[in-house]
């Protein structure tokens, strides 16, 4: 026996487990009488154990969805004039700043706005000279007070028309070359682009030139089939994974439920708003959405590592002592991460083996 003490624990344990595995047979366990097997103390000391608890039952529903830009923080850019596009400076996915030039449109309408401004300036100059002349004549007694009032009114009207012409040209993004300048109204990414150089644009076309979103927050739009609608609630917690980041879980809550079905796919849409640090989530990415539904009831919950699956049946190993380990069949209600909800001939407080369960199970039922 002394010589055995010099064998390291890991090596000794592996020898024992291999022997146990070699003794296993192919028979399916029917009874739970395992009194013939005694778990060695050396193995029992290093095993992990779990205690059955009563926990609020949590069910999960898996949905498919996609990443979309936040519609509350998106700006679509249109043209208010007709003409030909040129000097388009941005591409899809580019980040732009508010006021930055995206491109320009050569337009005869802009030439008209410029002409209106020049005419307004001329009229303003004429009205000013007329007012000055009338005031001089009034001082000399050659004009009446009424003539002064008429000249002042004409001057004021000319000033108003000049301001209007300047505003029209400014609103329409004009410059000294009669170009319509397309500018970004916000900071953000170009998420849609429907314009190219030399492309003809019509002011009455409802197609937007650009769509800009800051992508600091995104929407996850998920599809809910009719059979799951009753299990979906506002503010339910969700966990989201993507193909691009399979090991990263994005957590959020259901922010909006569309209470109508899509007539094509016969699904109800839900929206989850997520912060997007580092711009990891891109519009049109596929998303797997798991909705966590907290029900108003309790169930037995155990560590997922305690479950053994064999011959289409789940089992747990109830540890009473080294000579009394019971194999108990259970039904799995749901698994959420490392926690599994079960039903079976068990009670809270029962102690379960939570490591090396497959090898011990095989040894028990050999």
CB distance 54 to 291 below 8 Å: no
CA dihedral 32→37→43→49, nearest 10 degrees, is 20
Tell me: do 220 and 310 sit in the same domain.
no
**Together in a domain, 118 and 81:** no
Order of strands, edge to edge, in the sheet holding 210-213? 74-77, 210-213, 188-193, 95-96
In the three-class reduction of DSSP (H, G, I as helix; E, B as strand; rest coil), residue 17 is classed as helix
Instruction: Look at residues 117, 147, 174 and tell me which one is the last residue of a structural domain.
Output: 174
CATH code of the domain in which 279 resides: 2.40.30.170
User: Residue written as tokens 């300036």?
Assistant: 121
285 lies in some domain: yes
Same domain, residue pair 191 and 99 = yes
DSSP 263: T
Of 120, 146, 174, the domain-final residue:
174
Distant-in-sequence, close-in-space partners of 232: CB < 8 Å, separation ≥ 6: 61, 224, 254, 257, 268, 270, 291, 293
What averages of pLDDT result for each successive group of 10 residues across the chain (366 residues)? 40 47 43 65 92 90 93 88 87 92 81 77 88 84 84 88 80 67 90 90 86 93 93 92 93 94 92 94 94 85 94 94 93 89 94 94 86
Indicate if 196 and 311 belong to the same structural domain. Answer: no
Say what the pTM is: 0.61
3-state secondary structure of 125: helix
3-class state of residue 164 by DSSP: helix
Q: Are residues 188 and 261 in the same domain?
A: no
Those residues whose C-beta lies under 8 Å from the C-beta of residue 38, and which sit 6 or more positions away, are 322, 323
Residues 187 and 283 in one domain: no
The answer to whether position 33 is within a domain reads: no
Residue 21 inside a domain? The answer is: no
Does residue 29 form part of some domain?
no
**In CATH, what number is assigned to the domain containing residue 321?**
2.40.420.20
CATH number for the domain that contains residue 183:
2.40.50.100
Is 196 in contact with 85 (CB distance < 8 Å)? Answer: yes
Residue 86 lies in a domain: yes
DSSP notation for 297-344: EEEEEEEGGG-EEETTEEEEEEEEETTEEEEEEEEEEEEETTEEEEEE
Q: Are residues 305 and 361 in the same domain?
A: yes
> Cα(171)–Cα(164) distance, rounded to whole angstroms?
10
Alpha helices (runs of H) in the chain, residue ranges in sequence order: 9-23, 41-44, 108-139, 145-171, 357-364
97 and 193 together in one domain: yes
Backbone φ, ψ for residue 168 (5° rounding): -60, -45
Q: Does one domain contain both 203 and 83?
A: yes
* Domain end marker among 279, 296, 313: 296
Q: What is the pLDDT of residue 288?
A: 96
CATH (domain of 157): 1.10.287
Do residues 246 and 231 make contact, with C-beta atoms less than 8 angstroms apart? no
Contact 63, 291 (CB under 8 A): yes
Structural domain includes residue 139: yes
- Looking at the structure, do residues 229 and 292 belong to the same domain, yes or no? yes
Tell me what pLDDT residue 9 has: 45
Q: Is 349 contained in some domain?
A: yes
| CA geometry: angle 17, 20, 22, nearest 5 deg | 110
* One domain, residues 231 and 270: yes
285 and 251 together in one domain: yes
DSSP for residue 174: B
Distance CA 361, CA 20 (A): 10
Q: How many domains does the chain have?
A: 4
H or E element at residue 274 = strand 267-275
Radius of gyration of the CA atoms of the chain, in A: 39
Q: Is 32 contained in some domain?
A: no
Q: Are 93 and 212 in contact (CB under 8 A)?
A: no
d(CA 320, CA 351): 7
Alpha-carbon distance of 360 to 285, in angstroms, equals 44
**Residue ranges making up the domain that contains 132:** 108-174
pLDDT score at 174: 59
């Amino acid at each position: 026996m002394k010589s055995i003490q010099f064998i390291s624990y890991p090596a000794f344990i592996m020898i024992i487990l291999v022997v146990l595995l070699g003794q296993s047979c192919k028979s399916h366990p029917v009874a739970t009488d395992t009194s013939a097997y005694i778990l060695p103390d050396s193995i029992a000391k290093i095993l992990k154990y779990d205690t059955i608890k009563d926990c609020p039952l949590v069910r999960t529903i898996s949905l498919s969805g996609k990443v979309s830009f936040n519609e509350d923080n998106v700006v679509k850019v249109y043209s208010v004039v007709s003409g030909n596009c040129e000097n388009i400076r941005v591409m899809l996915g580019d980040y732009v700043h508010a006021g930055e030039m995206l491109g320009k449109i050569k337009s005869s309408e802009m030439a008209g706005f410029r002409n209106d401004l020049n005419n307004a300036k001329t009229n303003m100059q004429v009205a000013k000279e007329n007012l000055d002349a009338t005031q001089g004549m009034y001082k000399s007694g050659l004009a009446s007070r009424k003539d002064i009032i008429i000249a002042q009114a004409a001057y004021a009207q000319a000033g108003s028309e000049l301001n209007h012409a300047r505003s029209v040209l400014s609103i329409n993004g004009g410059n000294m070359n009669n170009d319509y300048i397309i500018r970004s109204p916000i900071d953000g990414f170009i998420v849609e682009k429907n314009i190219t150089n030399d492309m003809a644009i019509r002011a009455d076309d409802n197609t937007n030139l650009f769509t800009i979103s800051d992508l600091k927050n995104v929407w996850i739009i998920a599809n809910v089939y009719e059979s799951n609608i009753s299990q979906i609630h506002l503010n339910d917690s969700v966990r989201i994974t993507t193909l691009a980041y399979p090991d990263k879980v994005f957590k959020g809550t259901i922010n909006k439920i569309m209470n109508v079905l899509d007539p094509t796919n016969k699904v109800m849409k839900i929206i989850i708003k997520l912060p997007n640090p580092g711009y990891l989530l891109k519009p049109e990415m596929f998303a797997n959405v798991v909705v966590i539904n907290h029900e108003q009831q309790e169930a037995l919950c155990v560590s997922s590592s305690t479950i053994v699956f064999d011959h289409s049946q789940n089992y747990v190993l109830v540890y009473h002592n080294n000579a009394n380990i019971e194999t108990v069949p259970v039904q799995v209600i749901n698994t959420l991460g490392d926690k599994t909800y079960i039903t079976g001939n068990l009670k809270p407080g029962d102690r379960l083996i939570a490591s090396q369960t497959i090898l011990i199970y095989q040894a028990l039922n050999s």
